[in-house]
Structure 1
Amino acid sequence: MTKQNKAYKFRLYPTDEQALTIRKTFGCVRFVYNKMLAERKETYELLKDDKEELKKVKHPTPAKYKSEFEWLKEVDSLALANAQLNLDKAYKAFFRGNSKFPKFKRKRNKQRYTTNVVNGNIQLLDGYIKLPKLKMVKMKQHRAIPTEYAIKSCAVSMTASGKYYISILTEYEKEIESKKIENVVGLDFVMDGLFVDSEGKKANYPKFYRQFLAKLASEQRKLSRKKKGSSNWNKQRIRVAKIQEKIANQRKNFLHHKSKELVSNYDAVIIEDLDMKGMSQALKFGKSVADNGWGMFTSFLTYKLNEQGKKLVKIDKWFPSSKTCSDCGNTQPMPMNLRTYVCLCGLHLDRDVNAALNIKKEGIRLLAIA
């Protein structure tokens, strides 16, 4: 039996007093993070040429600031401790060369804090959740968490429109048996509709962002004409945020359903290991790539396949899937304006379906040698 993790996200409906405490916690977490980062940055600038000495330095903890800033005692201490852990993680990633030096958090960044389970301080109780410093908070629990799943931590967040959510991280034991791979599908990413599979089926992504583009632009223009910080500006800011959240929620819902459908029907899914950031920066592709949500889609696919002992295979992004004939293996140039692959061997096929067939074949080859 191996330990697995699964997160459940629910909407919170805090009272005015609880909402105030939550927002205070956001602020305190941001304040402590920035304080600790400022001290680390100062130390790093002094000792960056002496790495051995830099390793010996003891970094500040949230407890250091509580005597000077008494209001830090009003919020969940575990939330502050997690701010330190997050900074430690970012700092170590920088020294490993995996990321840039940590940046200071700003108020407009995502409002979020994490707390952990200690001595029963977090409990689910019939439409409510008990949280440190907040006591019982009303929650819309639209699906049950199995009783054998142990709660490990909770992340409380607030959207730009002022809605509160909680993500409950659980841990459980499960023996995942690898499924025998029989049904395999290849997916070719397309700007217009997310993907085409090796059986010729299209995802038909509805382009939620494009649907709301005119309305969003109109509401953003209204926002730009209002005095920043005023009551009317804030009301309009919330209107814009609600449209953006609706688009994001529709996209996420579609991608969840589409990934679940694939996982239910196939034992292995083959995709290309694409550089989405590079594609989004390409001429005229930015909005299309962002609207599709391919990165989110592949994340959903990954964990859903893993839960069932199935496989997600990524082939090299330079693999010539579009240029290769899926029938005879011949290669030829395929500029973007050519939508049909025509080969001397007689193949006459939609270029995306042809590419998906090649992706499937290459994935099967990789599975065979794995």
Structure 2
Amino acid sequence: MGVLKAYRFKIYPDAEQKQFFIRTFGCVRFTYNHLLMHRKQNGDSKLTPASLKRDYPFLKETDSLALANAQRNLDKAFRRYYSGQSGFPNLKNKSNMWQSYTTNNQKHTIYFVEDKLKLPKLKSLIEVNLHREMKGEIKSATISAKNTEEFYVSILCIEEVEKLEKTHRNIEIRYCPKQLVHFTEGSCPISFNQEKLLGRIKQAKRTLRLRAKVAKKRKVLLADAKNYQKQKKKMNQLLVQRKDKKDDFINQLSYFLVVNFDCILVQEKIPKTFETMQQEFTSNDWQQFLSKLRYKSEWYGKKLIIR
């Protein structure tokens, strides 16, 4: 069975590559915003990236597929708006923490050479932390950056996934605020404990508040307070660690269930008594978990019943 599978890796671009990415982020944002403003003013989608290039030649210097995908993303945003799934599309903002663009693999324009990545419009290879083996054909690559400091690539592949062997076992599960999943029989086989990390986050928050007070006392803007900004960076790194650890647990647990059980019965609704409790796992975490269960059950030939 051919499925779409995504892999995310951290990349380490050199100074020239960083500048290329930053320019591309800007061109994609520029294209998206101009197409959106044209639709607002004229009510049609006749303006295209190709026509924009005639008036703004600097767009020719970037990846044309990235600009085409900006148009596709806007079209998708409008489809969601007209179907009532989301609000009216907003303009892209340069000050957003995350910036990104997507390019497609056309005739082997995206590929790996050992632990380095080749992308369209870039002559040099990019160093990648290739911590997982990829299988299948590369379909597209999305480059993203956090505060133009941390860079990542998400590779979308078409892979063949084989059905898992039948175990002739069924299980019923429901939401648990502390361990995410409550098993009707037995306990959760995969442990999850963030106490040490949460303690470090709590301490980091106290230190951040203290440094904010010191900066205020010295009449220094927080944006210019070096100690505050340094602590803020540490704080953000801890929050990323917490999210990554939780995501890894959700992936492990969802895979464990589809490997070990043929039929998974899920009580989707979260009881109101849990909504007021202190939660290690939120309702968003629960929905993320269910989403992974859905596609993994389909991939591996297992039955998922949500009621």
Q: Which interval holds the TM-score relative to the shorter structure?
A: 0.7 to 0.9
**Counterpart of 1:298?**
290
Consecutive unaligned residues of structure 1, counting only runs of 5 or more, are 45-56, 316-370
Q: Distance in 2 between matches of 1:216 and 1:185?
A: 41
State whether structure 2 residue 175 is matched by structure 1 residue 189: yes
User: For the pair shown, which has the larger CA radius of gyration, 1 or 2?
Assistant: 1
CA gap of 1:33–1:235, structure 2 versus 1, over 3 A, is farther
Return closer, same or farther for 1:283/1:31 CA change in 2, 3 Å cut-off: farther
Aligned residue type for 1:106:
N
> Is 1:99 paired with 2:94?
no
Aligned-partner residue type, residue 20 of structure 1:
Q
* Higher mean C-alpha deviation, range 86-95 or range 301-310: 301-310
1:142-168: CA deviation from partner (whole Å, max 9, x where unpaired): 22223xx11110111123582211111
In the TM superposition, what are the counterparts of 1:218-233 in structure 2 within 5 Å?
218-221=206-209, 222=211, 225=215, 227-230=221-224, 232=226
CA shift in 2, pair 1:216/1:70, >3 Å: farther
**Residue of structure 2 equivalent to 1:80:** 67
Give TM-score, length-normalised by structure 2. 0.84
1:19 corresponds to: 18
Cα distance per residue 1:303-337 (max 9 Å; x no partner): 3322211122211xxxxxxxxxxxxxxxxxxxxxx
Identity of aligned residues (%): 32
In 2: Cα distance, 1:105 partner to 1:214 partner: 33
How does 1:1-370 map onto structure 2 within 5 Å? Answer: 2-44=1-43, 57-107=44-94, 108-135=96-123, 136-146=125-135, 149-160=136-147, 162-173=149-160, 176=163, 182-202=168-188, 204-207=191-194, 210-221=198-209, 222=211, 225=215, 227-230=221-224, 232=226, 234-274=229-269, 282-283=275-276, 288-290=280-282, 293-315=285-307
CA distance, structure 1, for counterparts of residue 265 and residue 221 of structure 2 = 51
Q: Is the 8 A contact 1:110 1:159 kept in 2?
A: yes
CA contact (8 A) 2:143 2:153 kept: yes
Superposition deviation, residue 181 in structure 1: 7.3
Contact 1:161–1:241 under 8 Å retained in 2? no
TM, length-normalised to structure 1: 0.71
Farther off after superposition, 198-207 or 304-313? 198-207
Structure scoring higher RCO (CA < 8 A, sep ≥ 6) equals 2
Shift of 1:206: 2.0
The 1-side partners of 2:300 and 2:28 are apart by 37
The alignment of Structure 1 onto Structure 2 pairs a total of residues equal to 296
Change (3 A) 1:175 1:194: closer
Distance 2:129 2:102 in 1: 19
The answer to whether the 8 Å contact 1:268/1:310 transfers is yes
- SS for the counterpart of 1:67 is helix
Query: SS where residue 293 of structure 1 aligns?
Result: helix
CA drift of 1:291 comes to: 9.1
Deviations 1:54-110 (A, max 9, x none): xxx333222233233333223212111111101100101111222211122223153
State the SS of the aligned residue for 1:83. Answer: helix
Paired residue secondary structure (1:99): coil
Q: Which amino acid aligns with 2:175?
A: F
- Contact map agreement 1:8 1:168 (CA 8 A) in 2: yes
Structure-2 separation of matches of 1:237 and 1:80? 34
